[in-house]
Structure 1
Amino acid sequence: MNTSNKSVKVSTPSDREIRTERVFQAPRERVWKALTDPTLIARWWGRGNKLVIEKFEPERGGHWRFVEHAGDGAHGFEGRFREVTAPERIVRTFEWDGMPGHVCVETMTLEDLGNGQTRVVSVSLFHTQQDRDGMLGSDMETGLGESYVALDQVLAALAAS
């Protein structure tokens, strides 16, 4: 499988992984700031829905928890940071309240491409192929595409300030 949505490339490198890739028109340090500053995260992660950041401790062992308030109710997401290496890498667990116990490990890398561009690659490792396929079937690609469009707007606003 290899599809794209609004320039998000999604692939399945193994039977338990989802890999996403997107190039942003912003230097790596600016992208890092938008990924690690709770005030900025709240502006893009929820795709326009209200996002409450209940916890955000971007350090090894730190806890994160976001609650998105959408038209169909509140959706909680959380996990623990395993590695935070500024401005190039974040490894964390990810769990959705709607499927407790189905935890994946996300590894996100930020690659400086020069010319003010940054490639963000995220690889999510699931416990089972069924968990991976469930995520693929959840319309995550559309949601991620919408979040990344909102992130583009945050990055542009940061450049203008």
Structure 2
Amino acid sequence: MSDLKVTATPGTSTIEISRTFATTPERLFHANVDDEWQKKWLGPDIYKTEVPINEVRDGGRWRWTQRDDDGNTHGFRGVYHGDPSVENGITRTFEYEGVPGHVSLETLRFTDLGNGTTRIDVTSAFASVEDRDGMVQSGMEGGMEEGFVRLDKLLADS
């Protein structure tokens, strides 16, 4: 059973997400930056994810596209900031191309809980409460959990 926790405190412009995985911090970091791993687990089940750009370095760009069986495509993009690593985590901007100009700053941290488990903590800071609420209302929590369930399986099978 998943321990996904999504918190959007009223009056703030942030979303805080945490979830535990049965893996090491190094493997969980790798799953979040490696093109082939990202294709296999990112996003809701109804979409096929592609990773046309993924420059994992300070100033490097990234872009994901997600396509459903009807050919509808959703694009996401951003820029990495700092030196992405297990120790530093990942800091990047995040923008949904369907609603351009609403950019959030996202940080991912990987905490070793011992016994082969790692918690990921994600904080997304938006420019306004309205932007944050738009993301929460988009159904992102359900899509995120579907992806995390696939990631659980990938981690167990590899």
Fold shared per TM-score above 0.5 = yes
Output the CA distance in 2 between the equivalents of 1:65 and 1:23: 25
Output the CA distance in 2 between the equivalents of 1:6 and 1:144: 12
Q: Which residue of 2 aligns with 1:69?
A: 67
Residue 27 of structure 1: how far off its partner (Å): 1.0
Paired letter, 2:16: R
Structure 1 consecutive aligned stretches of length 4 or more whose deviation exceeds 2 Å: 46-49
Paired letter, 2:124: S
Output the CA distance in 2 between the equivalents of 1:109 and 1:121: 5
Is residue 64–residue 80 contact of structure 1 (8 Å, CA) maintained in 2?
yes
Q: Which residue of 2 aligns with 1:8?
A: 4
Output the CA distance in 2 between the equivalents of 1:142 and 1:122: 16
Residue 7 of structure 1: how far off its partner (Å): 2.1
Paired letter, 1:83: G
Q: Which residue of 2 aligns with 1:52?
A: 50
Q: Mind listing any 5+ residue stretches in structure 2 that lack a counterpart?
A: none
Paired letter, 1:24: F
Is residue 14–residue 125 contact of structure 2 (8 Å, CA) maintained in 1?
yes
TM-score of the superposed pair, with normalisation by structure 1: 0.90
Q: Secondary structure at the match of 2:102?
A: coil
Identity of aligned residues (%): 38
Output the CA distance in 1 between the equivalents of 2:111 and 2:2: 20
Q: Mind listing any 5+ residue stretches in structure 1 that lack a counterpart?
A: none
Q: Which residue of 2 aligns with 1:18?
A: 15
Alignment of 1:1-161 (within 5 A): 6-13=2-9, 15-48=12-45, 49-71=47-69, 73-88=72-87, 89-158=89-158
Q: Secondary structure at the match of 2:107?
A: strand
